[in-house]
A and B are shown apart, each in its own frame.
Chain A
Amino acid sequence: MPLATLYCLRAAKAQTDIYVLNGKVGRKMRLGKYIGKRVTLAFFTLLIMVTIVFFMFRVIPGDPISMYIDQGLDQESQQLMMEMYGLDKSVPEQYAIYLKGLFVGDMGRSFTYSKPVAEVIGERFLNTLVLTTTSLMIAFTVGITGGSYLAWHRGTKLDLFGTILALIIRCAPVFWTGMILLSVFAFKLEWLPLGGMTTVGSDFNSFFDKIFSFDFLKHLILPALTSALYSMATPTLLMRTSMLEVVKEDYVELAFAKGLTEKQIRRRHAMRTALLPVVTIFAVQAGLAIGGSVLVETVFRWPGMGREIVLAVGARDYPMAQGAFLFIGLATITFNLIADILYAYLDPRVSLD
């Protein structure tokens, strides 16, 4: 039986190879295979991460039981929870229960909120998503245009100033920038609110009503801007470097010789190729931003996943901390996967083996 399977697989591979030789169909097929490979790897990574987290939380000095069960509960409830979570069973069995739980979305119960972790995360995740998406869009739009502009005017004072500025912002701690912006715009000038996501006491009909309300946007500006400023530096500098490389290329010179206008050349030839590394960075940056949202959300008291993990860790709410971490990890892995696939798709030169 296994031999037959092997033969079938070999035949399938041979088929794909034939398509590959044909050239035209080749690339689409290989892309599919490549995506398959990367997805499998991502899934595997996720599994390993889940396992690492499982064992990490068992390293707590002291009673591992306190990991899952609130020590504040009475004995009876504790006993009940122990049975529910199988904490009286062996480690491998616990691991199996843990995995099964994750599969159905059960990440335990938060000590602080007395709610299922999954429920709390659900709300928080959307908040983080909105903040991260907004800030990244700003960061990349400004970064790409800025970077290509700087590169085009390379050597001028503007270029020097812009590059140094970008570098300095990248080295400044994002929470510090946030604190300063908060002090200036929220406190001194009182243009914008001091934190949080909405004004206390306000009520909205639905999630979408909320995020498009003026109140929400007012609260969103500062944290999004702070985060964007920090994230902006990398795409700007990267785009600039990339453009500088591309501008030296012969095909750019040929584009000039062909009589194209500067704008056409910059957009069509220079930026298009220069964008490749930046686009991949976008997905990677997104992954990093989700992890880094911890800081901005704390400064601005934005009720997102990042802030949640800090609160949970501080309050020793282990199920919450674990759940939040897993979720952030999932987001990171997903974004890395997207980055891999995007790059392979966009650059026809990338070998898909």
Chain B
Amino acid sequence: MKSAFKLFAKNKVGLIGLTIFVSFVIIALFANSLAPYDPMEIQYTAEGGVKRLMAPSSDHLLGTTYMGRDVLSQMLIGSRVAVLVGVISAVCVAFIGTNIGLISGYFGGKVDRILMGIVDVMYGLPFLPFALILVSVLGPGIQNVILAIVLITWRNSSRVIRSQALTLKNRTFIEATRLSGASDWRILYRHIAPNVVPVSLIYVSTSMAAAIMTESSISFLGLGDPMQVSWGRILFTCYSSQAMFKAPWWILPPGMAITLLVLSGYMMGRAFEEIANPKLRER
């Protein structure tokens, strides 16, 4: 475990990813204090007119939207949704996927067939349409978005973890443990699971990236939580206003933020990949 951390520290790509991610987390945590204005508040000029589509200025570092709202504040507060959805989804997906993979791979037989059968079926469900339908049926709250993401994404990690568990199951040290009388569950969770953690971590990172992408997609389509400020929703408003052509300060920041956060997820995932698979290190 410790050596894994050391390896990660040495991995340039992973560190950059981590830095970016942590920066966003910090921004999200302090967003309320950092944001100069209420993101939903319409800004007025001294004369009483709405500050519509104003270019960046000292008052509004990222300008204003068509409705007269401060873009910077929206960006900062929006980070909360992104980080929240990303982290929660990632943890849930990894947890479910890993456990299912472990159980499936270790116990084999009927359990394996049933679980993997479920995974096979899940692969047939198209991701975004499913999320859309679920959100439309259950309502546009954040928890439903997370639910939709988790329901579909766990399928990826479970297969890989399962094959890891399969290989590990047949290693001699497991045989030895079994001979010493340890129960199956004990073997599974005390001996096999820790070895599977690096691979799990890969999926934590990549699931986070996918979750953020999905959340922003759903919000962009206007089906996200209308009460929450999210980067996807900013782009939704931008697109609907038909004024996106005229306001680069409005269109560019949300997309860039999403790209960066998603990128950080993939970069960390790559670092974990190299840790889990030493072959990749010598590139």
Q: Chain B interface mostly helix, strand, loop or mixed?
A: helix
Binary per-residue interface labels of chain A (302-328) against chain B in the complex, 1 for a CB within 8 Å, 0 otherwise = 000010011001101000011011001
Give CA–CA (A168, B209) in the complex, Å.
12
Q: Which residue of A lies closest to B217 (CB)?
A: A295
Q: Does B244 contact A (CB under 8 A)?
A: yes
Q: Please determine whether A298 and B221 come into contact, CB atoms closer than 8 angstroms.
A: yes
Q: How far is the CA of A299 from the CA of B217 in the complex (A)?
A: 11
- A279, CB-defined interface residue at 8 Å: no
CA distance A264 to B121 in the complex (A): 42
Asked if residues B134 and A56 are in contact (CB atoms below 8 Å), the reply is: yes
- Check A201 for interface membership: any CB of B closer than 8 A: no
A329–B129 alpha-carbon span in the complex (Å): 9
B-side interface residues, number (CB < 8 Å):
44
Q: B136 near A: Cβ within 8 Å?
A: yes
Contacts A173-B258, A294-B128, A298-B221; A336 near B123 (Cβ below 8 A): yes
Instruction: Assess whether A45 is in contact with B139, with CB atoms less than 8 Å apart.
Output: no
The yes or no answer to A171 lying at the interface (CB within 8 A) is yes
CB-CB under 8 A from A82, the residues of chain B are: none
**Considering the chains assembled together, what is the distance between the CA atoms of A280 and B266 in angstroms?**
22
User: Which residues does chain B contribute within 8 Å of A321, judged by CB atoms?
Assistant: 132-133, 136
Asked whether A292 and B120 contact (CB < 8 A) given A173-B216, A179-B239, A183-B251, the answer is: no
Q: Does B263 have its Cβ within 8 Å of any Cβ on chain A?
A: yes
A329 with B124: in contact, given A173-B216, A313-B136, A321-B133 (CB under 8 Å)? yes
A312–B283 alpha-carbon span in the complex (Å): 49
Determine the chain A residues whose CB is within 8 A of the CB of B132 once the complex forms: 294, 309-310, 313, 321
A49 at the interface (CB under 8 A from B): yes
Quick check: B138 and A325 within 8 Å, CB to CB? Answer: no
Contact B255 A172 (CB under 8 A): yes
Once A171-B266, A291-B129, A310-B132 are accepted as A-B contacts, the answer to whether A49 and B124 lie under 8 Å apart by CB is yes
Tell whether A173 pairs with B220 under 8 Å between CB atoms, given A59-B138, A187-B245.
yes
Partner pick for B124 among A46, A176, A180, A183, CB 8 A cutoff: A46
Closest to B136 in A: A313
Instruction: Enumerate A207-246 residues with CB–CB distance to B below 8 Å.
Output: 244
Asked if B125 and A329 make an inter-chain contact with CB atoms under 8 angstroms apart, the answer reads yes
B137 within 8 A of A: yes
Residues of B within 8 A of A294 (CB): 128-129, 132, 217, 221
Instruction: Specify which of B128, B136, B220, B262 is in contact with A292 (CB 8 Å cutoff).
Output: B128
Contact of A56 with B126 in the complex, beta carbons under 8 Å? no
Q: Is B196 an interface residue (CB 8 A)?
A: no
Partner of A244, one of B133, B244, B259, B283: B283
Closest chain B residue, CB of each to CB of A175? B220
Which chain A residues lie closer than 8 Å to B223 at the CB level? 310, 313-314
The answer to the question of B235 belonging to the interface, with a C-beta cut-off of 8 Å to chain A, is: yes
B36 located at the interface, meaning its Cβ lies under 8 Å from any Cβ of chain A in the complex? no
A333 to B260, CA, bound (A): 32
Q: Nearest chain-B residue to A312 (Cβ)?
A: B136
Q: List 23 A-B contacts (CB under 8 A).
A: A41-B120, A46-B124, A52-B125, A57-B137, A59-B138, A60-B137, A61-B139, A173-B220, A175-B235, A176-B235, A183-B251, A288-B126, A291-B129, A294-B128, A295-B128, A298-B221, A313-B136, A316-B136, A321-B133, A325-B133, A328-B126, A329-B129, A332-B125
